[in-house]
Structure 1
């Protein structure tokens, strides 16, 4: 195919790579007399309308992104019914080749790559674009002056917020992305967001530091279970001398629950950099002032505290340099900055600080006559202000006060992390009630309207008998890792796990419709994951669902004297949901006549006949929720009446 001319303009020279849907060639642009990279769709994809639309979407997505860390698009077209994309030609190697050659990178080298990858992902996220296939082979290390420039490649399975996916992930049990780098939500067939790309980025950095993947298995099915269920080896256990702080970093970066991960690429980079900076020593203070003697004055005023390692000062003569120092030192506590400076003034710098350092607090300095600017700074979030000429006593009191405030912020952040751990082992409803009202009020009982859902893994007991205890529990958790996220996403509170069943309570506005939507979504996701993992996986057992709605008694039960209490809901609704789940067959969402009546305008419900809900009890009519009613779904795919789900059947 070499020497072929595309669109009478681009002459193919040599094949240089392959992507998911195309072959990449080095080509020569005859019009502009320059070498380019040209991606031509492979023959097996040309006949697929969905593949052609995805290929075009890749070109549109990258064309929207004007960022030096994302490969640039020059042209797009169709030649002899074959789509093509023309891109900048890069020289260098991809990260996969480098990791194969070097196996491991030092933390500073990994940080240098991480910063640039994060900038590319930030630009994509800001444009509403999710890569979905971030891996070392799609991270190119281009040789540039004065050094390497990271470029993100192959947006062939990109997901955007401005165009729907014609072949939704999981529609046919198809894996979109590279399994080893897929997030748990991709495994569950949920349409991913930028947090999924951050998971993939964390896997890349884990491999760069340790030389191995955090989740590895012999087959795809086992790998998908491991991603959703298993812990990963702490990096410090794999590489002697690696700081334990990296273990804590990856605990958050690779959290199964997206809500527990770093919310942005910027924060992920800052946390990684903070580990490299090692354990916290003296309080770090950044002085930003263009006066030539500012550094000398601070060193003289606080020479004893510097000598005692109570304070460590960092200096910058304008806001732009200060931002650079903040990125280098993400553990800075206090910033003392002048307002009037060249290049970037203090007010502009103040607005940029939260982007780089969420904990640092800023103290503004200015002359008495500049009170208008000081007032503006306080309105923008400055912690305090100082008037020039600076008095040592005033400066020291202000710095100490600010350091204590920042320390409190850090303690609160750690407390939030501890509460997340507490929620793993206690009722989320109880944790929130104690936080909001105190322990004594949390013990009170009340009658509330709610919908209760029981989801049972079908016939898991025989599976447990055939497995070792640890393996049986792991396979059960694999099911719950798919079931629970959608229940929580729709506002459900997981009340308890009862053997191989999970009980969830929905309260508040539209609790019935939210519960039904969550059940439909869980059923669809379990079916998609079962198709992907294949026969013999724990997902092929199927799930049985029962749902009931009405008034429940909410409160604490147990023995307060012996310190064993459980916050739960009781009543006929709970019993009915449990019995319906027990009578359900795999794939059914069983409800009673009252639920069918309440939900018939929102969901398609069919009668499945009479079932006995209790041994020896007379059979009663029950109904199966088939799907969300098409009548309540708008043209853009968003359901009406406040129902919103990440997946439907």
Structure 2
């Protein structure tokens, strides 16, 4: 059951919400809590940390919705918010998004749109929780396990699991934020981190949406891996979605003339999957390595702004599903022969 906190000083909204979602409430799909302003909302969240989604107005007494957004991020990074307000001007939308709002709906409320937005947001929250659970179970345990944990699990069982390496066929995607290094040289550190986290959050949503997983963050780049059925198609779909999403992001205040763009490289093939790192430090990273991974990184390096670059063998698999064009031959580092590469257009 999803738990949703509605924050609005219009008390009539509580009655309306209960009427419109009475079926979901009766079937224990949704549980609604209500607060009359941001301060009241924080008090209720302190008493009930299990809330998954906050629907908040902007103009409220004591603490407005935009201030609440800043507080929510500090309180619980997994908690997602949707602004529901009559003040739908671009300044409010940009401020809300910059402060972590997942979406923005204008009043009067279209309840069909609200329902779709709630379902989309709650799905994202569930995916984040599943990802966090997987990280805790598969990475943190393996990286930082101590003798007490080993004794509890059984040393033989643990060592067998941690040593389970395999050859797999999968797709690797590298995504780089173009021109971001130059921004860091003239921008305050807090704003740099805020910007990059905003871009990464938008990318990660699409990666999870298309059933990939983030292997690692590398400076201003992301390495993502796709396994299972149609792994290459899902990676290309993700790349297109990320390119479109980044273009739609609002400008950051205080940064003039910078438009975020991405360069993306994608390669499918065989690779080694396993725990790599230092056992003595208990710092192991479950990752993939091999020529396929290296070529994907080189393809990203060959991509221009807002370009998605794939290899010729990948093109042969996706040419009927995606519109592509040949770029030509390029010489990649550590490759003796030139490779023909293609750009994915749509």
Secondary structure of 1:466's counterpart equals coil
* Aligned residue in 2 for 1:203: 56
Report if the CA contact (8 A) 1:492-1:504 is conserved. yes
Measured after TM superposition, the shift of residue 430 of structure 1 is 4.2
1:575-597 deviations in Å (ceiling 9; x for gaps): 01111111111111101111001
CA distance in 2, matches of 1:459, 1:120: 50
The answer for unaligned runs of 5 or more in structure 1 is 1-94, 100-109, 127-135, 137-197, 230-253, 264-415, 628-649
CA separation in 2, counterparts of 1:445 and 1:540? Answer: 41
Q: Which has the higher contact order (CA 8 A, sep 6+)?
A: 2
Q: Are positions 1:565 and 2:284 aligned together?
A: yes
Tell me how far apart the structure 2 counterparts of residues 221 and 522 of structure 1 sit (CA, whole Å): 19
Match of 1:494 in 2: 214
CA spacing shift, 1:617–1:543, aligned 2, 3 Å: farther
Aligned to 1:468: 188
Deviation at 1:601, TM superposition (A): 1.4
Decide whether the 8 Å contact of 1:579 with 1:613 is kept in 2: yes
CA distance in 1, matches of 2:213, 2:342: 24
Cα deviation, 1:57-100, whole Å, max 9, x if unaligned, reads xxxxxxxxxxxxxxxxxxxxxxxxxxxxxxxxxxxxxx97x66x
Q: CA separation in 1, counterparts of 2:142 and 2:158? A: 8
Aligned residue for 1:227, secondary structure, equals coil
* SS state at 2:99 partner: helix
Q: How does 1:63-462 map to 2 (within 5 A)?
A: 116-122=15-21, 199=53, 202-204=55-57, 210-213=63-66, 214-215=68-69, 220-227=93-100, 258-259=122-123, 261=125, 421=132, 426=135, 430=139, 439-440=158-159, 441-462=161-182
> Which residue does 2:310 correspond to in 1?
591
For structure 2, list consecutive stretches of 5 or more residues without a partner in the other structure: 1-6, 26-34, 36-51, 71-89, 103-117, 144-152
CA deviation map 1:11-52 (0-9, x unaligned): xxxxxxxxxxxxxxxxxxxxxxxxxxxxxxxxxxxxxxxxxx
Distance, in Å, in 2 between the alignment partners of 1:527 and 1:477 is: 16
Say if 1:555 and 1:568, in contact at 8 Å, map to a contact too.
yes
* Cα distance change, pair 615–448 in 1 and its aligned pair in 2 (3 A): closer
Over 3 Å counting, the alpha-carbon distance change for 1:553 and 1:489 in structure 2 is same
Q: Secondary structure of 2:345's partner? A: strand
1:505 corresponds in structure 2 to 225
- The alpha-carbon deviation at position 536 of structure 1 amounts to 4.7
- The SS at the match of 1:603 is coil
How far the C-alpha of 1:432 sits from its partner, in A, is 11
Greater CA radius of gyration, 1 or 2? 1
Q: TM-score, normalised by structure 1?
A: 0.36
Give the deviation of 1:511 after TM superposition: 0.8
Q: 1:522 aligned to 2:254?
A: no
Determine the C-alpha separation between the residues in 2 that align with 1:467 and 1:576: 32
TM-score, normalisation: structure 2: 0.64
Note closer, same or farther for the CA distance 1:260–1:619 as it changes in structure 2 (3 Å cut).
Answer: closer
Q: Is residue 205 of structure 2 the alignment partner of residue 485 of structure 1?
A: yes
Distance 2:257 2:141 in 1: 33
Report the CA distance shift for 1:431/1:537 in structure 2 as closer, same or farther (over 3 A): farther
* Shift in Å, 1:553: 0.4
Cα deviation for residue 541 of structure 1 reads 2.5
